[in-house]
Each structure stands twice: as C-alpha cells, then as structure tokens.
Structure 1
Amino acid sequence: MSGSSGALGGSGLPLPFPQPRAAWLGAAAALALAALLGAAVWRWAGRRAGRVRLQRVGTVSGLFVYPVKSCRGVAVQRAEVTALGLRSGEMRDRFWLVIKEDGHMVTARQEPQLVLVSVNCENGYLTLNAPEMKELRVPVKLSRKNPVHDCRLFGLDIQGRDCGDEAAQWITTFFNTQSYRLVHFEPDMMPRKSRDLFTTFRTTDKVAYPDCSPILILSEASLEDLNSKMEKKVKIQHFRPNILIRGCSAFEEDSWNKIQIGSVEMKGTMACPRCILTTVDPETGIMDRKEPLETLKSYRLCDPSERQLYKSHPLFGWYYGIDKIGTLQVGDPVYKIVR
C-alpha cells in the first residue's frame, strides 16, 4: 500500500535495508528523474520558443560523391557537407571537369562512356581507371605553373586549373574523338551561383561543377515506384543522387521544405528536371535516348503553372541548398524541420 510506513513491506516482511537508506535512495532517484524531465522540458521549451519541431521522415541509406563530373560515383559511409556539396577526405563532389580545348564542359551527354571511368582520391592523388586504359594518377594539389582555364557550364563562366598533358592525353585517347583536357576547381576560385541558373535558389547557394545544386536527394521508394512501371529496371546510378533515403513514401522528398541530417540543415529549392543523361546505361556507357526518360514523362511532368521553370523535363529527385554545414553518415535519421 503506497501510504504505509514503518520497516515492513506490504507483505509484512522486513524491508531489505533500513528505512533511512531507502528514503535516501528514493530521494536520489526522484532527483535524477527530475533532472531528466527538466532537461527534456528545456529541450522542448527551446524548440517551442523557436517554433521548431523535428519530425522523422526517413533514414540515410546511401551517400555518393562524384569527384569528376559524369564519371562514376564513389559510395561513402560518412561525408562532410560543405557549402559547395559533399566532401569525403580529398574527394570533393564534382570538383574535376572534362573540357574541350575551348573550355566548354564535356559530360556524358556528349561522351556517354564517361560513366565507365571509375574514380578514387587518396594519398594526395586523384586516380582514374577505364576499360583497356592504364591507371591515371593526378596530384590533387596542382603546380601553380599549370594554366588556369576559363570554363563554360550551362552559359556560366568558371575557372579550372589544368591537370596537365598526361591527363589530357589519357582522356583524349580513351574517347578517341577530339582533344579534351581535365581541370580542377580550387578553393580560392569563384564558384557559380545557382540562382543565376534558376531563381528558385537562394543567393547563398553555390556550386563548382554540378549542374546547379550542391545536393541532390532521392528516395528508394521513388526509384521503386519508377521501376514498377518499367519493363527493364533501372538503377540508382542512372540518377546520380548525393543522398539516398529509405523509410519514406515515393516522392515524399519533394515535400520536405527544410530537413536536418546529423548536424546538417538543408533547404529544398526545386525538383531535378531530368534530361537525356538518364538514358545512359551506367554499366555499358550506351545511350538509348529513351528510357527511363519516356516513362518518367508519362507521369512526372510538372504542373502547367511551373512549365516556365521545368519546360518538358520530367521531375525526379529534389535539389537542396545548404543552411548549416556539418557531417552525416549512412544510417542517420532524416528529420523534417517543422516551424
């Protein structure tokens, strides 16, 4: 009985320790519980004061860095999110670029076999491997004597330091079409402003050589939904996201205005308008110019009111800008920030 007193329990048997000690332990437990409740109330009050609430919406199931634009990505377990996108060790997302002699970018849209080039970056070197090619090793820190090129990406200018004649010869030999060069974006160079490409981005959203956004997020459920409509299934490699999410419904990532993963906070900016690059088979480097683009067009076109922004491109995945840099890893919960 909760109101009984004395040295006997409710069964009439002696308590296992003297009452003063029991009272002391009870008081200590009560204080500990009060402290925990106080901390919880403080966190709740802090969130409440800022009108912020975190709602779990999924889990990170994959992280991908693409050091050389259009080449194969590298799956990593942990990554740092910088203002310009993912970084893992010496790998930076799309910090290397293949260009023509006149500085215009070259992607798998022009050279589909770029997707067959595998990339790694460690011990101070970027390494490239491709079928029937000897491994190429390029220093991450290039000589200041190497020339800086004025490059052109989607109508915007950006610099890149030349990676040398050996790299240029390797790439030119692999494609056997025309002369190409490899350039590297260095931290002291001026990034491109995403807003100059799409007004949905903020003035703080900047990129090196990605198309327009520092982060692209896609969910496993969205890929499964697409594949349920496909005769020949496609892989996540067709779509080249930075962050893959599981545990949410198909296309739910489109609706997350602001999210938190690990110590990182991101703001959704716009859907990813898909192009012919998605029709390049990542295993063969062959472009069929049809699928999965045609299937996506059958049910993922934009609302007519947004046609000026997206035109006739189907939408698949969502672009995010960076609000707070930090680190994240596979297995991290994904929270929607609710205000």
Structure 2
Amino acid sequence: MGAAASSALTSLRLALPGSAQSRAAWIGAAALGLAAATALGAAAWSARDRRRRRRRSLKQVGTVAEICIYPIKSCKGVIVNEAECTEMGLRSGNLRDRFWLVIREDGHMVTGRQEPQLVLISIAWDNDQMTLSAPDMDDLIVPRKVPSTNAIRNCRIFGVDIQGRDCGDEVSQWITSFLKTETCRLVQFETHMNGRKSKEIFFPFVQNYQVAYPDCSPIMMISEASLADLNTRLEKKIKMEQFRPNIVVTGCNAFEEDTWDEILIGSVEMKKVLSCPRCIMTTVDPDTGIITRKEPLETLKSYRLCDPAEKHIYKSSPLFGMYFSVEKIGSLKVGDPVYLITQ
C-alpha cells in the first residue's frame, strides 16, 4: 500500500460519528477514500513499471550474418535463413541442433576428435527425413521418427550420462563402413528424455538449463571480425566451419562478443554463459577430414588465453566464441539486429 493510500485511511479514522446518517456519510467517504487510495497505488506501481522499462535499454551491436544447425554432433551443419530458438537450442521444423549423436557400442560419444572424417558427412533435410551423404558412399535416408521399439541406449558425453534412441542397424553399418572403424551407432535424443544439466557440465553458479548433445550450452556465437582477426595471424586461412557456431554476427569489432552479457535477437533473449574453450576439434579441416592438432590452436594460444584469475575454469585452452543460454524462447533470422540489453 502506498503512502497516499495510508494517509487517506488515517484521516478517515479520526472519529466515528454516532447517527445512522453520519454513519452513512462516513461509509460513503470511506469508499471514496479507498477508491482514491487504490487509484493512487495503481498509478504508483505503473510509474515504477515505466521507470523499470526505461532503465532496460537496447543498443545494436551487430547483425546476424548466418544461422547454422548441426543435427549430428561433429557432422556438417545445415545453413538456414531462420530458426526457432528453444531452451535446448535451435530448431527449424523438426530439424534440431545436436539432437543426434554417434556412439560406440559401450555408449561413449564419437566426435571429430576421435574420428575426424565425421566432418565430411553432409546432411540434407527434406520431408521430415534426414539424408546422409559422404565421399564414396551411397546416400542414406534416416527417418526423423525412430520406431519406439528401438532400444534406448545409455550414452556418455564428457563423463555425463544421457540417453538416446538407437536409430537402427542400417545407419550403424553406413557410418561404421565410412569411418572404417569399430562399430558405431547413431542415437537420437527425444524431448521426453532428461537433458544434461548445466550444473553437471560446468559449475554451480552457471544459470540453470539443459542440453542434449552439444558440448556446453544451447547456443554458440562468433563474430566475423573475430575470425578475420585470427586469419591475419595465420599462413593458411581457415573457415568459420572449424569453430561450428550456431550464430555468426557481422558489424562488430573483433571479440566484441566477449562483452555481451545479455542480448536480444528477433524475439529471443540470451544470456552469456562463458567463453568457448577450444580443443583439437578446431584443427580438423572441414574439407578433407584431416586433423593436424596444430593450427589454429597454436596461434590462438599465443594471444587468446584466459585471465589468470579464470585459469581454474579454462586451464590452458584458448578462448574463441561465446556460449549463451536461452532466457526467452522465440524466433530469429538472418539480417536480424543483435541488441545488447543494458539496465
């Protein structure tokens, strides 16, 4: 109750008249006083809301240049012009980001770190089915809807347990044959399954969210300027594909994305989780599937190491790109302004 309302009621409590006529007059005055108090209180709350909204301002810091969904972890991405942004990452229709995973028979994940040629598997999405293509292999169609009779497998991603529905023997044989390795299987995450919780991936202070098979968070973002800066330091230029971001931003300075704590794109609000610590996956050539274990990692280590105070988080990994959680779901598209939300 506001001060104006309290004052109005205090003045009405000065005396209670005895006669019925006086009592009627008093009741009428009280009603008017309460109505006035209510109106004054509502006006006060409205003013506070307006001040709160005014304090939350938007500043454009860039523009969306590219949106990419990576259906199968470590395989090629699918470029889209627009996407829905769910709490667990990007979606275009039933095409979901990192909702499929290659595993060994024992459930441990297989990525480009162990099998670099995974990056050569291309994915086309049409009529709610996924078509896999790879060099010297016939195309294979993988229906989106996996039969409910297929086994649910227990999987491990960086030591954290998660489940996936087995996609069947045909795709298992196809992937195994292409990689020329021990038996691999493909599993699909289903929305009723429990995702990997952020507190299991990072630290207790990280905001609360879940992911399926991404390394760390629902969204990873990099600016074109950051890649351009890195390429000025390399003998052989590299592509954005080697860093596998979901959203590429143009129109900002190099590594400016490091400073974006909260952003708005389209109707989607995101919050910074932490920088992306880089590993040997960045040294896999997306065109040849050859892993060098050297560049661009060595060059990044020369100038993109963390602050010493954060070494307990990032250790010796260089930082390139930013992880974001999804605070408000919605949609976004190429060409959307990227706004920094400030208070």
Q: TM-score range by the shorter chain?
A: 0.7 to 0.9
TM superposition shift of 1:120: 2.0
Give the SS at the match of 1:105. Answer: coil
Q: How far 1:201 moved relative to its partner?
A: 6.2
RMSD: 1.5
Label 1:177 to 1:47 Cα distance change in 2 as closer, same or farther (>3 A).
farther
SS in 1 for 2:303: coil
1:100 and 2:91 matched:
no
1:176 aligns with 2:180: yes
Structure 1 partner of 2:124:
120
Flag the 1:242–1:162 CA change in 2: closer, same or farther, 3 A.
same
- Alpha-carbon distance in 2 for matches of 1:316, 1:123: 36
Q: Note the C-alpha offset of 1:197.
A: 1.4
Matched-pair contact (CA < 8 Å) for 1:117–1:128:
yes
Flag the 1:248–1:73 CA change in 2: closer, same or farther, 3 A: same
Listed as ranges, the matches of 1:48-59 within 5 Å are 48-49=52-53, 51-59=55-63
Residue aligning to 1:148: 152
Match of 2:244 in 1: 240
| CA distance, structure 1, for counterparts of residue 213 and residue 334 of structure 2 | 25
Q: Which residue of 1 aligns with 2:73?
A: 69
Note if contact 1:47-1:53 (Cα within 8 Å) is conserved in structure 2.
Answer: no
Deviation at 1:49, TM superposition (A): 3.8
Query: TM-score, with normalisation over the residues of structure 2?
Result: 0.84
Per-residue CA deviations over 1:42-97 (Å, capped at 9, x if unaligned) read 9xx84754620000100000000000000001111000000000001221000000
Gaps of 5+ in 2: 1-45
Q: Does 1:261 align with 2:280?
A: no
Deviations 1:122-178 (A, max 9, x none): 212111100010111111111110000000001100000000000100011101111
Question: C-alpha distance in 1, partners of 2:169/2:128?
Answer: 19
Equivalent position amino acid for 2:165 in 1: R
| Counterpart residue number, 1:315 | 319
What is the letter of the counterpart of residue 100 of structure 2?
W
Does the Cα contact within 8 Å between 1:200 and 1:269 map onto a contact in 2?
no
* Segments ≥4 residues shifted beyond 2 Å: 45-50, 200-204
> In the aligned structure 1, how far is the partner of 2:51 from the partner of 2:267?
16
Q: Residue type matched to 1:307 in 2? A: K
2:13 paired residue number? none
- What CA distance in whole angstroms lies between the structure 2 residues aligned with 1:116 and 1:256? 33
Q: 1:182, CA displacement in angstroms?
A: 0.4
**1:31 paired residue number:** none
**Aligned residue number for residue 330 of structure 2:** 326
- 1:261-317, Cα deviation, whole Å (9 max, x unpaired): 000000001000000000000000000110000000000000111001000000000
Q: Using the TM superposition, name which of 71-80 and 120-129 deviates more.
A: 120-129
- Structure with higher helix content: 2
How big is each residue's C-alpha offset from its partner over 1:205-257, in whole Å with a ceiling of 9 and x where there is no partner? 21000001100000000000000111100100000000000001000000000
Which of 276, 279, 285 is the equivalent residue of 1:281?
285
For 2:4, the equivalent position in structure 1 comes to none
* 2:191 aligned partner: 187
Unaligned runs of 5+ in 1: 1-41
Given that 1:218 and 1:243 are in contact with CA atoms closer than 8 Å, whether structure 2 keeps it comes out as: yes
Q: Residue in 2 aligned with 1:89?
A: 93
Per mean C-alpha deviation after superposition, the further-off stretch among 48-57 and 102-111 is 48-57
* Residue matched to 2:224: 220
In structure 1, what is the equivalent of residue 212 of structure 2? 208
Corresponding residue for residue 115 of structure 2:
111
Equivalent of 2:171 in 150, 167, 175: 167
Who is 2:234 aligned against? Answer: 230
Work out the number of aligned pairs and report it: 297
Cα distance in 2 for residues equivalent to 1:284 and 1:49? 51
Tell me the amino acid that sits aligned with residue 135 of structure 1: D
Q: Pick one of 131, 137, 141 that aligns with 1:137.
A: 141
Alpha-carbon shift at residue 114 of structure 1 (Å) = 0.3
